[in-house]
Amino acid sequence: MMKIKSSLYCLTMLLTLTAQVAVARPSILAAWQSAYPASDSDLVNCQLCHQNTSGGNPWNAYGWNIRQGIQNSGLAASAAIAAIEGNNSDASVVSASNNLEEISANTQPGWTAGAVNTIYFKNGSTLTSQTAPSLATPLDPPETATVPISSGWLALLGLSLAWVGIFRGLNRRIK
């Protein structure tokens, strides 16, 4: 009878520890979802921060930055997430200059298009020049087009403003 009780106790402890480990990781995603409730970037679940759909080792640059904040700086998940909002974790040069812009655009702060992503492993090694996994959300915000204003357009604008001034002056004299 003592052997059975001892076995049950060990099994209960093992299940309890396993449940606690399994809950630790989703708490980081929950902190992220609490910080950005309007964003759809998290539709990819674990791949928001990890290379694999099930999470774990390895991480993309965004996830690695969060992990570093938690592991090395002792920050809570929410503080580690907030601390890297201004970073450009994926080094995207497309249109977003920081993580918060990508999150606000419902895109991926840890992945960018092309074979330019770095994968980080907990043993300290990295893989560079990696392509992003196929995800349900866009990797980067769409490029914003800028229309350069040439000197011809500026001259036309100046001429138009001059005519407006002339007509206003004439209108005042007529009254």
- In tens, the pLDDT along 109-143 reads 999 999 999 999 999 999 999 999 999 899 988 87
Q: Are 24 and 67 in contact (CB under 8 A)?
A: no
Tokens linked to 134: 């196929």
CA pair distance 29, 53, nearest whole angstrom: 13
- Residue 120's pLDDT is what? 98
What is the DSSP secondary structure assignment for residue 47, as one 8-state letter? G
Does residue 97 surpass a pLDDT of 70?
Answer: yes
Model confidence, pTM: 0.69
What stretches of 72-122 show up as alpha helix (H) in DSSP?
77-83, 99-104
The Cα angle at residue 36 between residues 38 and 30, in degrees rounded to 5: 115
Average pLDDT over residues 136-160: 64
How far from the centroid of its chain's Cα atoms is residue 116's Cα?
16
Percentage of the chain exceeding pLDDT 70 = 67
Does residue 30 surpass a pLDDT of 50?
Answer: yes
The β-bridge partners of 117 are 130
Does residue 22 surpass a pLDDT of 80?
Answer: no
- List b or e across 87-101, with b for residues whose CB sees 16 or more CB atoms inside 10 angstroms: bbbbebebebebbbb
What is the DSSP secondary structure assignment for residue 50, as one 8-state letter? B
What is the DSSP secondary structure assignment for residue 59, as one 8-state letter? B
Average pLDDT over residues 82-106: 90
> Range with the lowest mean pLDDT among 32-36, 90-94, 140-144, 159-163?
159-163
Does residue 20 surpass a pLDDT of 90?
Answer: no
Q: How many other CB atoms are found less than 10 A from the CB of residue 109?
A: 32
